[in-house]
Amino acid sequence: MPGQFNREDYIDVDSRITKYWEMHPKPEGSIQTEIIWVAEDGNAVAIRATVYQGDRILANGIAHEERGKSKTDGANFTSWWENAETSAIGRALANMDMSLSKRRPSRQEMEKVQRYADEHEAAAPVAAEPLTEAQERTVAQARDMGESGDTLGEFDALLRTLKIDATPGQWKTISKRRAALVAQHYQSATMNGGN
């Protein structure tokens, strides 16, 4: 498998949660989650976790998961929503410097990266292709939505409408731009206090 990671270099989310409860016992401490986006078919979800001390927000985290295609996809085969929630909590706790290791990502996040790499290892490479004018307009509209502070799910849903008519190469171009928009959205959210 390409890019294998050492599981022992990463802390699982449960350890971060345990440490949080030690530092912020109930009722002062709380972790709340909310669904911020769901694919029309229910096979993908984005969840935001918010960590509190009393009424004060300490950190937010966002995670996205898709339903696994087979039992080899582990928890995502049956429990992708729960897995997204756990990942979002792990991100929120990492955002408040509770990584508990030299590595910021959680073990669960690295396992997700490994699953993705394994799934796409055998896939034939697809070259990026130029977009049509209509596709460019939709990407620009999504970018404007992200810059205006709309939720990740709204502009992501808009970009996913392009997949229907896109060639594999065009979808690769759109996916690269989507990744840049998501990074911009996260950076903007972080600069604005994590909201």
Q: Which residue has the tokens 């390409």?
A: 2
Asked if residue 133 and residue 112 are part of one domain, the reply reads: no
Please report, in tens digits, the pLDDT of each residue of the chain (195 residues total): 345 656 666 677 888 888 899 999 988 999 999 999 898 888 889 999 999 999 999 999 888 888 887 777 677 788 889 989 998 998 899 888 776 555 555 556 666 666 666 655 555 567 778 888 888 888 887 777 656 555 556 666 677 677 667 777 877 777 777 777 666 655 555 555 544
Strand partners, 57: 52
Q: How far apart are CA 80 and CA 76, in angstroms?
A: 4
SS3 13: helix
Asked if residue 50 and residue 86 are part of one domain, the reply reads: yes
Annotate 53-114 with three-state secondary structure.
Answer: ECCEEEEEEEEEEECCCCHHHHHHHCCHHHHHHHHHHHHHHHHCCCCCCCCCCCHHHHHHHH
Q: How many domains would you assign to the chain?
A: 2
- Out of 83, 103, 123, pick the residue that ends a domain: 123
Asked if residue 159 and residue 90 are part of one domain, the reply reads: no
Q: Provide the pLDDT for residue 187.
A: 56
Q: Provide the pLDDT for residue 56.
A: 94
Q: Provide the pLDDT for residue 164.
A: 66
Q: Which residue has the tokens 């998961």?
A: 65
Which range marks the domain in which residue 94 is found?
1-123
Q: Provide the pLDDT for residue 195.
A: 45
